[in-house]
A = this chain, B = another copy of it.
């Protein structure tokens, strides 16, 4: 049993049959400096859009968007038009709709798809990242200001990001067992 939690909650934006669609995905991965993966159950409507357009967006919602985020993961674009669920903007890729309310948005080009029995594993390259001014500190994204949502599988719940506990490559410098 794979137990890599909590994991970051994202909303993936696609164009399906000419219309923006969104679905909530907490199974993302960092593969290389600019390369990410999305593990998406084959039942998702969004998968068709990614395969057709070779583009998608990854948006990071804030805590205050918890209800809309959850909703996007409950209802399927096969049954419900989710194109009006969020205010949308576009970057260079034209058919990777991004969510204005999300403080961080990445528009991505599809590199390849790995075909697992129940999931399509989409590997994509980030073409451009957009961030709201109020989460930037000296030009960098401050994730404390983003207030992202984290998904815990055990109790099927959303958690916030906790307090800072220490500096990386520093707090353990002189550690001895």
Interface residues of A (CB under 8 A from B): 1-8, 10, 27-37, 39, 58, 60, 63, 66-74, 84-86, 104, 106, 114, 116-119, 121, 126, 129, 131, 137, 140-144, 148-173, 175, 177
Contacts and interface: CB of A to CB of B under 8 A. Distances in A.
A149 B165 contact: yes
A68 B150 contact: no
21 contacts: A3-B104, A3-B106, A3-B129, A4-B8, A4-B28, A5-B8, A6-B150, A6-B161, A28-B30, A29-B37, A31-B37, A31-B121, A32-B39, A66-B165, A67-B166, A70-B172, A70-B173, A140-B154, A141-B154, A143-B159, A156-B168
**Which of A118, A137, A163 has the most chain B CB within a 10 Å cutoff?**
A163
Given A70-B172, A84-B177, A150-B150, 12 more contacts: A4-B8, A5-B141, A5-B143, A29-B29, A32-B121, A63-B165, A70-B171, A137-B154, A156-B167, A157-B164, A157-B166, A159-B161
